[in-house]
Chain A
Amino acid sequence: MATAVLRASLVAVGLVWTLAVQTVQAEDVKRYVVEGSRAAGLESCVEPTERMRRQHMEFIKHQRIATVHEGIRTEKYSLSGCVDCHISYDQERVPRPINDPDQFCGACHAFAAIDLNCFDCHAAVPNGARLDATAIAAHRAAGVGPLVQSRRDGEDR
């Protein structure tokens, strides 16, 4: 009897937990799409949401071979694409590193206890065009020099 009750309550806890996660994820996803970005105009990401959730790592892993070894830059899947569409900004319009524990990549990875280091090397904010020397100096003076801290996903500074 005791075991049955325990089992039932465990199942209930599990269900509530799963629902809660999905709700949180749904809200977060909405919050994490940059206004006016490519993703904002799409029903789902480059694949249906369910596939993206489960397989995004496979997609970008295959893509990286095509890009690094064959120079193909127009693939559908792209890590910098994740960053472009899913970055968020603070009040000063400074982009928050996407692997921060409350950001698009970092939040899920921290939650799922996945320890990744994509952003040890890859830019965690849209960082395509270089700032000129004066802008860099100004940023340094304002104390926002190293905006991106390389560390594992979801790790606190």
Chain B
Amino acid sequence: MKDENEASDAAVDPRRRAFMGVAAGVTAAVVAPGVLLHAVAAAPRSEAVTDDVRWGLLIDTAKCVDGCSACVAACDRENGLDLQSKPEGQSPLKWDSQRAAWIRKVKLQDNQTGRVTTLPMMCQHCEHPPCVDVCPTGASFKRADGIVMVDRHLCIGCRYCMMACPYKARSFIHEEMHGQLTAVPRGKGCVESCNLCVHRRDFGEESTACVDACAAEGHHAIMFGDLKDPASPISQLLKEMPSRQIREDLSLNTGVRYSGV
């Protein structure tokens, strides 16, 4: 099954290419044995995103390895989360609970059978996001392509969205920041969460940092793609493999799906 996925990754899907518009000459993802390198963008986006696509992730928990946190580390690096430092005098415990994290590794145990499952948990990019519903300023919003994110220019740091999110996906920046990345602005007093590597999306790249890292480790547990395109590898796999939304009872229609849970 792995080979099949790699093969379909290498093909350039016509709809996706059309969507990219200006990104003429987009190179297909290069597949080396066990390593999926993301394609480097040809051109940045010049037209507004549309709802012709809906970005999402499919996480195969059977392939996710206990003790591995490559996706978390890659996310931290990609999005400058590793630039945070513990305020002087704060207890490690408090720091651990307060530092911004876009992905958490979660371990589930079935107490009756003892079966342990691990999975990465990030913003689920809900179709009907409660964080957006409660935001008093319009800072929390859903982009046309399904990415839920925060406009920091508007966020007042009230943290209602953190309360509303059923997935504990959001973080608040408590301290002044130093050395921010150009692509990922960040400052004290705003809320943030996984944005599906939105800078990569806008520059026409093929995947997210977590997907690349997981593939580089040889696990291939995370797949990124367009949920609206029936021909995309992620849609094909969703069609084939049983998967579910976490807390599907809330009817949020999440963009991140899990199989094996």
Interface residues of A (CB under 8 A from B): 64, 66, 68-74, 80, 83, 117, 120-123, 126-128, 130, 145-151
Residue pair B152, A148 in contact (C-beta under 8 Å): no
Residue pair B185, A69 in contact (C-beta under 8 Å): no
| B176 proximity list for chain A (CB < 8 A) | 120, 150-151
Q: Known contacts A64-B153, A121-B185: does B45 contact A71 (CB below 8 Å)?
A: yes
Residue pair B178, A148 in contact (C-beta under 8 Å): yes
Q: Known contacts A68-B153, A69-B151, A121-B152: does B179 contact A146 (CB below 8 Å)?
A: yes
Residue pair B182, A126 in contact (C-beta under 8 Å): yes
Q: Known contacts A70-B48, A71-B143, A130-B77: does B178 contact A150 (CB below 8 Å)?
A: yes
- B44 adjacent to chain A (CB < 8 Å): yes
Residue pair A71, B145 in contact (C-beta under 8 Å): yes
Of B188, B201, B203, the residue contacting A120 (CB under 8 A) is B188
- B49 adjacent to chain A (CB < 8 Å): yes
**B 170-202 to A, binary, CB cutoff 8 A, 1 in contact else 0:** 000000111111110111101000000010011
Q: Closest approach, in angstroms, between the C-beta of B51 and any C-beta of chain A? A: 12
- B46 adjacent to chain A (CB < 8 Å): yes
- B141 adjacent to chain A (CB < 8 Å): yes
**Chain A interface, >50% SS class:** loop
| B141 proximity list for chain A (CB < 8 A) | 69
**B 112-143 to A, binary, CB cutoff 8 A, 1 in contact else 0:** 00000000000000000000000000000101
Complex CA–CA separation, A91 to B58 (angstroms): 49
| A74 proximity list for chain B (CB < 8 A) | 22, 43-46
- Which 6 A-B residue pairings sit nearest by Cβ, starting from the closest? A121-B187, A73-B44, A70-B48, A146-B178, A121-B185, A120-B187
Complex CA–CA separation, A92 to B143 (angstroms): 42
Beyond the given A122-B185, A128-B183, A151-B176, please list 17 additional residue pairs across the A-B interface where CB-CB is below 8 A: A66-B48, A68-B153, A69-B143, A71-B45, A71-B143, A71-B201, A71-B202, A73-B202, A74-B46, A117-B187, A120-B187, A123-B182, A123-B185, A127-B179, A128-B181, A130-B77, A146-B178
Residue pair B179, A147 in contact (C-beta under 8 Å): yes
Residue pair B49, A150 in contact (C-beta under 8 Å): no
Residue pair A72, B47 in contact (C-beta under 8 Å): yes
- The 6 listed contacts between A and B (C-beta, < 8 Å) are A70-B49, A71-B49, A73-B202, A121-B152, A121-B177, A150-B180
Complex CA–CA separation, A41 to B190 (angstroms): 38
Interface residues of B (CB under 8 A from A): 22, 43-49, 77, 141, 143-145, 149, 151-153, 176-183, 185-188, 190, 198, 201-203
Complex CA–CA separation, A133 to B18 (angstroms): 37
Complex CA–CA separation, A149 to B201 (angstroms): 29
Complex CA–CA separation, A145 to B145 (angstroms): 37
Q: Which residue of B lies closest to A73 (CB)?
A: B44
| B185 proximity list for chain A (CB < 8 A) | 121-123
| A66 proximity list for chain B (CB < 8 A) | 48
Complex CA–CA separation, A15 to B245 (angstroms): 69
Q: Which residue of B lies closest to A80 (CB)?
A: B182
| B178 proximity list for chain A (CB < 8 A) | 146-150
Q: Known contacts A120-B188, A130-B77: does B180 contact A73 (CB below 8 Å)?
A: no
Q: Closest approach, in angstroms, between the C-beta of A87 and any C-beta of chain B? A: 11
Q: Closest approach, in angstroms, between the C-beta of A37 and any C-beta of chain B? A: 15
| A148 proximity list for chain B (CB < 8 A) | 178-180
Complex CA–CA separation, A144 to B203 (angstroms): 31
Q: Which residue of A lies closest to B181 (CB)?
A: A127
| A147 proximity list for chain B (CB < 8 A) | 178-179
Q: Closest approach, in angstroms, between the C-beta of A93 and any C-beta of chain B? A: 17
Of A72, A145, A149, A150, the residue contacting B48 (CB under 8 A) is A72
| A128 proximity list for chain B (CB < 8 A) | 181-183
Complex CA–CA separation, A71 to B182 (angstroms): 15
